[in-house]
Amino acid sequence: MSSNDSSLMAGVIYYSQEKYFRHVQQAAAIGLEKFNNDPVLQFFKAYGVFREESIQEAISSLESIQNHPDVSLCSIMALICAHKRCETIDLEELQELEGKLKETRKTTNVTALYYAGLFLWLMGRHDKAKDYIDRMLRFNDSFREGYVLRGWVDLTSDKPHAVKKSIKYLEQGIQDTNDVLGLMGKATYYLLQQNYSGALEVVNQIPVVSGSFLPALVLKMRLLLARQDWEQTVETAHGILEKDERNIDAWQVLAVHELARGGNMTAAADNVRNLIKALETREPQNPSLHLKKILVVTRLCGRHHVILQLVCSFIQRIFMTTPSYVHVAIELGYLYILQNQVKEASTWYSEAAKLDEINVAALTGIIWCQILEGSLEEAGQLLEFLKAVQQSRGKSEMLVFLQALLASKEHRGEQEVTALLREAAELHFSCMQGLPLGSEYFEKLDPLFLVCIAREYLFFCPKQPRSPGQVVSPLLKQVTVILNPVVKAAPALTEPLYVMAQVKYLSGELENAQSILQRCLELDPTSVDAHLLMSQIYLAQGQFAMCSHCLELGVSHNFQVRDQPLYHFIKARALNKSGDYPEAIKTLKMIVKLPTLKMEGKKFRGPSVQPSERASILLELADALRMNGQLHEATKVMQDAINEFSGTPEEIRVTIANVDLALSKGNVDMALNMLRNITPKQPCYREAKEKMASIYLQTRKDIGLYIGCYQELCEHLPGPGTSLLLGDAFMNIEEPEKALEVYDEAYRKNPHDASLVSRIGQAYVKTHQYNKAINYYEAAQKISGQDFLCCELAELLLRLKKFNKAEKVLKQALEHDLVTDIPSMMNDVKCLLLLAKVYKSHKKEDVLETLNKALNLQSRVLKRALLEQPEMIPSQKQLAAFICTQLGEHYQEEKEYAMATRSYQDALSYSPTDNKVVQALAQIALLQGHLDLSEQHCAILLQTEKDSETGSVMMADLMFRKQNYEAAINFYHQVLKKAPDNFPVLNKLIDLLWRSGKLEDAPAFFELAKKKSSRVLLEPGFNYCTGIYRWHIGQPNEALKFLNKARKDRIWGQSATCYMVQICLNPDNEIVDREASDNLVAERNSPDRQEPEQQGLRTAEKLLRDFYPHTAWGQTQLRLLQGLCLLATCEKAKVEAALGTFIEVAQAEDSVPALLAMAQAYMLLKQVPKARTQLKRLAKAPWTPAEAEDLEKSWLLLAHTYCQGGKFDLASELLRRCVQYNKSCCKAYEYMGFIMEKEQAYNDAATHYELAWKYSHYASPAIGFKLAFNYLKGKRFVEAIEVCHNVLKEHPNYPKIREEILEKAQGSLRP
């Protein structure tokens, strides 16, 4: 055979080593077609026949090649092995072969030594194989295949040091060659060392060397599985099946995938059928391989009936072909235990024991069956015998588990049983150390065995969910540790998931339990237990309607739910809690008659209840009777419960319930006496004292006696737990100083308790001793390194505005090597989010990078959780959505609307029903002027939340932008009808009414608010809205009076102050232009104008001295308002100083108010071109509600400059824009009238002046004068006279109107 055919020999050796003996024969036969009569291939063909127990055929083939020098040694060795396995051993022939072996060994060549070593290795004789290979390498140290084989021998050794040495030989063997077997060995070595990327790199080289080498693809599939890359694993398996449709390994992996991850049991059953078919057709005479390949299925199929039947039938067929195969009988026994068929299981374990009387697995199986059947004495005797036998062999996890099970059934006590269970679990997990994820891992994991251990633990765990503040049972924590590897590796197994949900429920983690159960019900909607537990969770959450719905849903999926006493108990509790006491009593009286399982081994044909369940039923019945007013009946039931459960673990629950019954009757003294009778030696003393303390605090309102209970508890049961309870009690009554004393004392006794230091830190925060709190947190971190303390410390530093220190703490927490486990990644996400929060107040430029890091890490968490902990997906998706929202808000602040939209859409991909995100998208669309898109988002908001205030307000804003004012007002009206005192909405409505020219409708809404409460007149929000309304109707003094009442408010104060300053500086809302300064200087000398304006300026300055904004934008507003005060003086130096401030603000951020103020300053300085440049910038700015008033002022000022320059067309365009966004803009109408007047279109001018007069609320005499003048010019004398009278009524001394208009109009009317 050519040396270039390394892939042919590699395949033969690979299949031999994997014990695929029919594959070996087929590979050798294919090789012989190419290399006729090749002795090596003939040997391996004979070897395959021999390993299939066709002894005579193998002997015949081996005898024909035993004289060939290359295979003489291995052939003789194989012949010796074959003769030893004959039914009748030919001793003479055997002796002759052994003599021949000795002679041949003396004269053999290097190749013969190589194949002899190879044969010995394949037969499992590693040490002997090493001797032959080492001898061969001494003869020829350049024989590469020899080094490869030596590497494989070490690689498959059970000695760790030998495995580590194997890579040296493998590297030497593949040096300067492309030996396929060597590359496979190297990849396998990396797999065992968990260097999966290195292994994949090597495997990917093999196709380059040998083309399509199927074993390399199989190895690649195993590597991908070890990396937990299920998607690629499944894809590779399908690729293998395209090349070999009966490939055993590929069908096994596909079956494992569906059983462990996919959860599609129909597909899993199909894959198992295909696996069985592949085994029976491709390896028909290989029972050990059949059992080896099907074992992983038996470990992962749970109690799925169809798959169990398939597997049982297959294993029974194996046993029929090889009835002496003891392991097959043992496996059948285990399968029948899974199906709760204990008699059948016992039969198979007994059959196994007959085949091998000292087989430990067979005997432990018999003991397990005896315990399950209640034959505890027999089981105990056999267990003692087996323990004695096992002493020399070391402990077995199954044996220790059976000891625990027997101890539990014999009621030997919690401590003994749980210690044995812990030992069993530790022994079980120790067998799996270092194993990569794969068939062997799942086989050793044996999920249902771990579920059995977990269920035994749960027997000693609390039966009710943990109350808030109560410590989680250590046993529940232990069960979580046991089940975590199962749920992580095989999240499609419903039984471990259900037990984990039970643990989460009892630990008080109701939402986590719900998530896990949801996954259970997705996998198996007919699960009775899952439906019942889900309804219990809804009951614990107070969702009684959902509880009843869940019960009915369970019945619809599986009618047998109604046969469970728990179903009726949960239903009764839901009825009781929702107030249907008669129906609850009826149901409870029905199930209280059921027998109680008090004795082990005693069976009942019908349904029965555990003692703890019976206690719950009696207590619930007593409570329902009490609530229904049947106190005598309730007392009788309670007395029955007291008598029945005295001295049992349920006694405390009954006592506490009896106390509650006494309290409901008003017998507080009786309740306290019952609790006082409980002595410190009784197990329920602590709970009794806590209940007593609660009564003193809640009912008697006696703080002294409340604390006294906890002090007595510390005195009689000293320890860190009771000290913490006393400290917490002091915290509960707002005495953190005394709590600190207690915590300090506990800390001195236990300085390594990080959670205690956390409480001390929180107490210091409550007493405002922040530095001490920081010191304690830092100390706790150094002691324990617990990450939650780092986050608490960073949050405290953030509150104290110690940004640099907070940044340092969080960066230290994030300084570590790359983490891949979910808890560490989740903690890093939390730290990054806190760091982003720090940067928002400290280094805004770093916020984006930090949030992106958090999002990338959260994406990794989601990918891992999908594979390992699917129950976490909902909460982790919510966190991912929150991060995307944070990014969106950041982009929105930076006015990067496209990126903000993208981030919000990403948030919706994680949380499609998050209305806050939909609202944000609607706002951005509105800001960008995409009105239709914004409307779509608002419609979604109102569809999902019909009474959404936010949705209605946004839709109103949108309708206003679309100039559909009626619809906009209607949306606001809907909100205010339900909540007339919703002042933020009322404020928006007033603005809308003003802008839509319907401000006369506003008083009705003020009246509506007044009817809501008599105190509404004192509300800052009401006064603010009233002040704004008065300002809009031209009553500046009244506006100031109302706004002043809101000025000190935290919410309304900043805006009220800003409006007050603007009113004081410009009460008539005049345009600031270049003539203003000249006119103002001239008018300053007028006593009528001088004093009011000076007083307004002084008031504005005083208001600003009392103005302390807390936000960055507030600080900017303060600077701008101070600048406006300087402008109001019209003194050049002060105007220039103000201009400098405005320019500085505008450069820092492209602020509309700052640009407008710059333009006004330039106008006052008579630098009109510069002013016009700024105003043109503002003319291009998009309209937004927040900047509407400043934009309107800028458009009016620019229109004013155009009017002065005679550019009426440009001015008209700006004025139309003003009116488009504000129908009440009297200045715009006034300028329009002025333009028409200039064009001598007096009737058109009068029309515009009419609107200006109307929307100034007839308060501006100047507009009245212009209107009357245009009426006069248009020969509308009566209207002119009427307007003149209205002006003179309010302003009797208004100049010129009497002489120039009134008298002329009157004269024109005379005949």
Q: What is the pLDDT of residue 782?
A: 58
Listed as own residue / partner, the contacts of 1136-1143 with beta carbons closer than 8 Å and 24 or more positions apart are 1136/1161, 1136/1165, 1139/1165
Q: Which residue has the higher pLDDT, 1025 or 212?
A: 1025
- The model's pLDDT over 964-1007, given as tens digits with 9 standing for 90+, comes to 778 888 888 888 888 888 888 888 888 888 888 888 888 988 88
Distance between alpha carbon 528 and the CA centroid of its chain, in Å? 27
The answer to whether 298 and 335 are in contact (CB under 8 A) is yes
Q: What is the pLDDT of residue 294?
A: 94
Q: Which residue has the higher pLDDT, 303 or 225?
A: 225
The answer to whether 985 and 975 are in contact (CB under 8 A) is yes
- Of 102, 50, 42, nearest in space to 70 by CA: 42
Distance between alpha carbon 870 and the CA centroid of its chain, in Å? 10
Amino acid at 1289: K
The answer to whether 325 and 331 are in contact (CB under 8 A) is no
Is the pLDDT at 5 greater than 70, yes or no?
A: no
Instruction: For 590-637, give the secondary structure using H, E and C.
Output: HHCCCCECCCCCCCCCCCCECHHHHHHHHHHHHHHHHHCCCHHHHHHH
Confidence of residue 1080 (pLDDT cuts 50, 70, 90): very low
Q: What is the pLDDT of residue 408?
A: 87
Report angle CA 515, 516, 519 to the nearest 5 degrees.
Answer: 90
Which distant-in-sequence residues (6+ apart) come within 8 Å of 754 by Cβ? 780, 781, 783, 784, 786, 789
Measured CA to CA, the distance from residue 32 to residue 26 in angstroms comes to 10
Q: Quick count: other Cβ atoms within 10 Å of Cβ 1260? A: 23
Q: Quick count: other Cβ atoms within 10 Å of Cβ 36? A: 8
Measured CA to CA, the distance from residue 449 to residue 866 in angstroms comes to 25
The answer to whether 1197 and 1203 are in contact (CB under 8 A) is no
Helices (H), 962-1086: 965-978, 983-995, 1002-1012, 1020-1032, 1036-1046, 1053-1065, 1074-1084
Is the pLDDT at 606 greater than 70, yes or no?
A: no
**First and final C-alpha spacing in the chain:** 138
Measured CA to CA, the distance from residue 926 to residue 645 in angstroms comes to 68
Q: Is 103 helix (H, G, I), strand (E, B) or coil?
A: helix
Measured CA to CA, the distance from residue 385 to residue 398 in angstroms comes to 15
Mean pLDDT of 603-622: 72
Confidence of residue 784 (pLDDT cuts 50, 70, 90): low
Is the pLDDT at 1293 greater than 90, yes or no?
A: no
Is the pLDDT at 3 greater than 80, yes or no?
A: no
Mean pLDDT of 1245-1257: 89
The residue whose two tokens read 């060659």 is 177
Here the tokens at position 1118 are 């303060």
Sign of CA dihedral 156, 161, 162, 167: positive
Q: What is the pLDDT of residue 13?
A: 92
Sign of CA dihedral 60, 63, 68, 71: positive
Confidence of residue 558 (pLDDT cuts 50, 70, 90): confident
Total length of the chain: 1311
Measured CA to CA, the distance from residue 613 to residue 566 in angstroms comes to 8
Is the pLDDT at 1308 greater than 70, yes or no?
A: yes
Q: What is the pLDDT of residue 258?
A: 94
Amino acid at 500: M
Measured CA to CA, the distance from residue 1081 to residue 1166 in angstroms comes to 14
Q: Quick count: other Cβ atoms within 10 Å of Cβ 633? A: 16
Measured CA to CA, the distance from residue 422 to residue 401 in angstroms comes to 9
- Of 815, 768, 818, 762, nearest in space to 787 by CA: 815
Phi, psi of 478 (to 5 degrees): -65, -40
Q: What is the pLDDT of residue 584?
A: 86
- The model's pLDDT over 410-453, given as tens digits with 9 standing for 90+, comes to 888 788 899 999 999 999 998 888 889 999 999 999 999 999 99
The answer to whether 111 and 70 are in contact (CB under 8 A) is yes
Is the pLDDT at 253 greater than 90, yes or no?
A: yes
Q: What is the pLDDT of residue 553?
A: 83
- The model's pLDDT over 87-104, given as tens digits with 9 standing for 90+, comes to 888 888 888 888 988 888
Q: What is the pLDDT of residue 599?
A: 42
- The model's pLDDT over 442-498, given as tens digits with 9 standing for 90+, comes to 999 999 999 999 999 998 887 778 765 456 778 898 999 999 999 988 989 999 999
Is the pLDDT at 1 greater than 50, yes or no?
A: no
How buried is 521 (Cβ within 10 angstroms: 0-12 exposed, 13-18 middle, 19+ buried)?
Answer: buried
Cross-strand bridge partners of residue 609: 596
The answer to whether 621 and 585 are in contact (CB under 8 A) is yes
Q: Quick count: other Cβ atoms within 10 Å of Cβ 1084? A: 13
Is the pLDDT at 670 greater than 50, yes or no?
A: yes
The answer to whether 79 and 62 are in contact (CB under 8 A) is yes
- Of 1306, 1293, 1226, nearest in space to 1266 by CA: 1226
The answer to whether 401 and 453 are in contact (CB under 8 A) is yes
Helices (H), 769-872: 770-784, 787-799, 803-814, 822-840, 847-868
Q: What is the pLDDT of residue 1075?
A: 55
Confidence of residue 1077 (pLDDT cuts 50, 70, 90): very low
Measured CA to CA, the distance from residue 432 to residue 437 in angstroms comes to 10
The answer to whether 888 and 920 are in contact (CB under 8 A) is yes
**How is the chain split among helix, strand and coil, in percent rounded to 5?**
75, 0, 25
Q: Which residue has the higher pLDDT, 643 or 350?
A: 350
Q: Is 1066 helix (H, G, I), strand (E, B) or coil?
A: coil
Give the CA count within 13 Å in the CB-facing half-sphere of 72.
18
Measured CA to CA, the distance from residue 1018 to residue 396 in angstroms comes to 79
- The model's pLDDT over 693-703, given as tens digits with 9 standing for 90+, comes to 888 888 888 88
Q: What is the pLDDT of residue 236?
A: 94
Measured CA to CA, the distance from residue 1105 to residue 607 in angstroms comes to 81
Mean pLDDT of 1056-1062: 91
Q: What is the pLDDT of residue 707?
A: 87
pTM for the model stands at: 0.65
Cross-strand bridge partners of residue 596: 609
Mean pLDDT of 1031-1054: 89
Which distant-in-sequence residues (6+ apart) come within 8 Å of 751 by Cβ? 783
Is the pLDDT at 1083 greater than 50, yes or no?
A: no
Q: Quick count: other Cβ atoms within 10 Å of Cβ 394? A: 7
How buried is 1092 (Cβ within 10 angstroms: 0-12 exposed, 13-18 middle, 19+ buried)?
Answer: exposed
The answer to whether 306 and 269 are in contact (CB under 8 A) is yes
pLDDT > 70 in the chain, percent? 91
The answer to whether 505 and 465 are in contact (CB under 8 A) is yes
Over the chain, what is the mean pLDDT? Answer: 84
Measured CA to CA, the distance from residue 27 to residue 5 in angstroms comes to 12
H/E run at residue 964: none
Task: Say which DSSP state 1000 is in.
Answer: G
Measured CA to CA, the distance from residue 384 to residue 393 in angstroms comes to 15
